[in-house]
C-alpha cells in the first residue's frame, strides 16, 4: 500500500472544490508567493539518483528558502529553539546541502500526512471539510504493520483512489507554507493562525535540530488533538499555551523566558511549598520546581493535566504534583509559602464561578502569613466592564486585593507573540498578617500600564 503522501500526490484539477490554486513549477518564483512547487523524495523526477536532478535542486532551494521565511516571520531572539532552527536551515542553504535537506524534509512531510493529529492540527479547515482525510491517514498508519498481502487487501477496502481528498496532494504542504508566510495572524478565530504556525515550527525543530524530541512532541501534540475534539473550550486554539525548550515546545508563553522576565528568584526558597492555580499544561510549574521544595499544580482541564504528567516524566521531576480539579472546590489543610495566580482570578472560558473578592480571600486563606502571591493580570487595557478577561477595572480590584496583601513590586511584561496575546501586568505581593479593611491601595493602574521595569 502506498503512503498517504503518494495518495495525496495525485494531480489536482484547477477547478477543485478545495480552492487551492494550481502552482507553477518555476523554481525562480518569489518564495512568499507560493508559486513554486514543494519537492520531496516522492516527487523527484528521478528518485533513484543519489543527488537530485538540477531542476529538482532548484526547486528544493526554493522550498528551503520558503521554510526559512516562515521561521523568520515572528522572531524570538531569546528563544534557543528559534535560533537553533534558523541557524540549521540557513546553514543548509549556505552550503547548498540539498541532499541532507531533502532527506529530512521528505521524512517530515510524509509523517505529517500520515499522522492523524498533525493533519488535524495543521490543516483544521481541510479536515473539517473532509473528515476522511484523518480516517484514511489513520488506516494507512495502521497498515504499516501489516504483511504485504494483508496490506493489499486493506488498500482495497479504503475505496477508490479517486476520492476527492486525493486531489489535495502536496498542495496541502504548499498551502501551509503559503499561509504561514503571508497570512494575517488577526484573520479568523483567535489564535488559529498562531496555533498552526507554532505547531509547524516546533515540528521543524524536532526534525532538523533535535530528533530526540520527536517522541515527546508527538505525545504532547496528541493530547492537544484529543483536547480539540473532547473539551468544550481551550486556549490558543489547542496549541500549548505554556512552552519549554527541553520539550521542543515553543508555547505562546515560553516558561524559561517567562521566569527570567518576572525576576522572582529572590522570593523562592528551597524549603518553600508553592501552589500554582490554573496550572494549564504544567510547564510553568515544572520550571519553578528547581527553585522550591515542592509544587502543587491545580488544573481543571484533564488534557492539560495529561500533558503536564507526560512532561514531568520526560524531565524526571519528582517534586511537582499535578492535581486535577476546580479551584472553587479545592480544599486542603496545607498552607503555602508561595502562590501563583497567573491570569486566573477570572477565566476566559467561564469555568471559575467565584467573584474577585471571594477569589482573593481564598488565596489569602491558602498562604502562610508573610507568604508571597505572584499575580498576573488579564487585559489591563480593557474598558473595565467586568467581562471575563477584562482588567481595565484593576484599580477597583486592587482596592480589595490590598486589604489582604501588600504590593512589593510590579511591572508590565511584553507579549510573547503577535495578535491576541497582550502585554500583562505582573505584581509581587505579600500576604498581610490579617485582613485590613482600612488599607489604602498603592497601585495605580494608569501609572502601572506605563511601567515596564520594576
- Whole-angstrom Cα distance, residue 454 to residue 412? 9
225 and 306, same structural domain? no
Lowest mean pLDDT among 76-80, 134-138, 243-247, 356-360: 134-138
Q: Does 312 reside within a domain?
A: yes
Lowest mean pLDDT among 126-130, 167-171, 325-329, 380-384: 167-171
Mean pLDDT of the chain: 85
Q: Does 247 reside within a domain?
A: no
- Whole-angstrom Cα distance, residue 134 to residue 115? 8
358 and 214, same structural domain? no
Q: Which residue, chain included where needed, has cell 517567562? A: 258
Q: Does 454 reside within a domain?
A: no
Q: Does 194 reside within a domain?
A: yes
Q: Are 430 and 405 in contact (CB under 8 A)?
A: yes
The residue segments making up the domain with residue 142 are: 4-234
Q: Does 102 reside within a domain?
A: yes
Radius of gyration over every alpha carbon of the chain, rounded to an integer in angstroms: 25
Q: Does 403 reside within a domain?
A: yes
69 and 168, same structural domain? yes
Q: Which residue, chain included where needed, has cell 498581610? A: 432
pLDDT band at 36 (very low <50, low <70, confident <90, very high): low
Lowest mean pLDDT among 63-72, 188-197, 275-284, 317-326: 188-197
Strand residue runs (E) in 38-92: none
389 and 361, same structural domain? yes
Residue in 28, 39, 13, 67 with CA at minimum distance from that of residue 176: 67
pLDDT for position 121: 95
Q: Number of folded domains in the chain?
A: 2
**Does residue 351 register a pLDDT over 70?**
no
Contacts of 56 (CB under 8 A, 6+ apart): 39, 44, 45, 46
300 and 193, same structural domain? no
289 and 228, same structural domain? no
**Does residue 434 register a pLDDT over 50?**
yes
Residue percentage of the chain with pLDDT more than 90: 68
350 and 204, same structural domain? no
Domain-ending residue, one of 234, 268, 287:
234
pLDDT band at 51 (very low <50, low <70, confident <90, very high): confident
165 and 26, same structural domain? yes
342 and 217, same structural domain? no
219 and 265, same structural domain? no
Mean pLDDT throughout 24-36?
A: 43
pLDDT for position 358: 94
Lowest mean pLDDT among 3-17, 172-186, 349-363: 3-17
Q: Are 454 and 411 in contact (CB under 8 A)?
A: yes
Q: Does 248 reside within a domain?
A: no
322 and 230, same structural domain? no
The CATH number of whichever domain residue 424 belongs to comes to: 3.40.50.150
Distance, C-alpha 5 to centroid of its chain: 26
Q: pTM for this one?
A: 0.86
Domain-ending residue, one of 200, 234, 268:
234
302 and 216, same structural domain? no
pLDDT for position 20: 35
Determine the length of the chain: 454
**Does residue 197 register a pLDDT over 90?**
yes
Domain-ending residue, one of 234, 266, 282:
234
* Number of neighbouring beta carbons within 10 Å of residue 293: 14
Mean pLDDT throughout 325-354?
A: 85
Mean pLDDT throughout 340-358?
A: 78
Q: Does 211 reside within a domain?
A: yes
Amino acid at each position: 500500500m502506498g503512503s498517504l503522501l503518494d495518495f495525496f500526490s495525485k494531480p489536482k484539477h484547477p477547478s477543485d472544490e478545495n480552492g487551492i490554486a494550481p502552482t507553477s513549477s518555476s523554481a525562480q518564483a518569489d518564495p512568499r508567493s507560493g508559486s513554486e512547487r514543494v519537492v520531496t523524495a516522492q516527487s523527484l523526477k528521478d528518485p533513484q539518483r543519489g543527488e537530485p536532478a538540477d531542476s529538482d535542486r532548484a526547486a528544493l532551494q526554493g522550498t528551503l528558502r520558503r521554510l526559512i521565511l516562515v521561521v523568520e516571520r515572528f522572531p524570538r531572539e531569546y528563544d534557543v529553539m528559534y535560533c537553533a532552527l534558523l541557524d540549521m536551515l540557513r546553514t543548509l542553504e549556505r552550503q547548498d546541502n540539498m541532499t541532507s535537506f531533502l532527506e529530512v524534509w521528505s521524512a517530515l512531510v510524509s509523517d505529517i500526512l500520515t499522522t492523524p493529529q498533525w493533519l488535524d492540527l495543521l490543516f483544521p479547515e481541510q479536515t473539517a471539510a473532509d473528515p476522511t482525510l484523518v480516517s484514511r491517514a489513520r488506516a494507512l498508519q495502521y497498515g504499516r504493520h501489516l504483511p504485504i498481502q494483508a496490506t493489499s487487501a486493506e488498500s482495497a477496502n479504503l475505496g477508490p483512489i479517486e476520492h476527492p481528498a486525493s486531489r489535495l496532494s502536496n498542495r496541502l504542504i504548499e498551502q501551509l507554507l503559503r499561509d504561514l508566510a503571508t497570512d494575517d495572524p488577526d484573520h479568523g478565530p483567535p489564535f488559529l493562525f498562531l496555533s498552526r504556525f507554532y505547531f509547524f515550527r516546533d515540528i521543524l525543530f524536532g526534525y532538523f535540530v533535535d530528533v530526540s524530541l520527536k517522541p515527546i512532541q508527538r505525545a504532547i501534540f496528541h493530547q492537544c488533538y484529543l483536547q480539540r475534539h473532547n473539551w468544550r473550550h481551550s486556549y490558543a486554539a489547542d496549541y500549548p499555551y505554556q512552552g519549554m525548550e527541553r520539550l521542543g515546545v515553543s508555547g505562546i508563553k515560553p516558561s524559561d523566558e517567562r521566569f527570567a522576565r518576572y525576576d522572582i528568584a529572590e522570593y523562592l526558597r528551597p524549603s518553600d511549598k508553592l501552589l500554582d492555580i490554573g496550572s494549564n499544561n504544567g510547564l510553568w510549574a515544572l520550571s519553578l520546581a528547581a527553585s522550591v521544595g515542592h509544587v502543587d499544580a491545580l488544573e481543571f482541564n484533564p488534557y492539560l493535566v495529561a500533558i503536564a504528567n507526560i512532561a514531568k516524566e520526560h524531565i524526571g521531576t519528582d517534586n511537582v504534583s499535578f492535581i486535577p480539579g476546580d479551584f472553587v472546590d479545592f480544599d486542603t489543610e496545607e498552607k503555602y509559602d508561595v502562590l501563583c495566580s497567573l491570569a486566573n482570578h477570572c477565566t476566559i472560558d467561564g469555568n471559575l464561578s467565584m467573584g474577585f473578592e471571594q477569589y482573593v480571600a481564598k488565596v489569602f486563606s491558602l498562604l502562610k502569613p508573610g507568604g508571597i502571591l505572584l499575580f498576573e493580570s488579564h487585559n489591563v487595557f480593557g474598558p473595565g466592564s467586568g467581562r471575563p478577561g477584562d482588567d481595565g477595572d484593576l484599580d477597583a480590584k486592587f482596592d480589595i486585593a490590598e486589604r489582604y496583601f501588600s504590593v512589593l513590586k510590579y511591572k508590565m511584561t511584553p507579549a510573547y507573540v503577535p495578535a491576541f496575546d497582550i502585554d500583562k501586568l505582573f505584581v509581587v505581593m505579600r500576604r498581610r498578617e490579617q485582613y485590613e479593611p482600612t488599607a489604602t491601595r498603592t497601585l495605580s493602574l494608569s501609572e502601572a500600564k506605563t511601567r515596564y521595569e520594576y
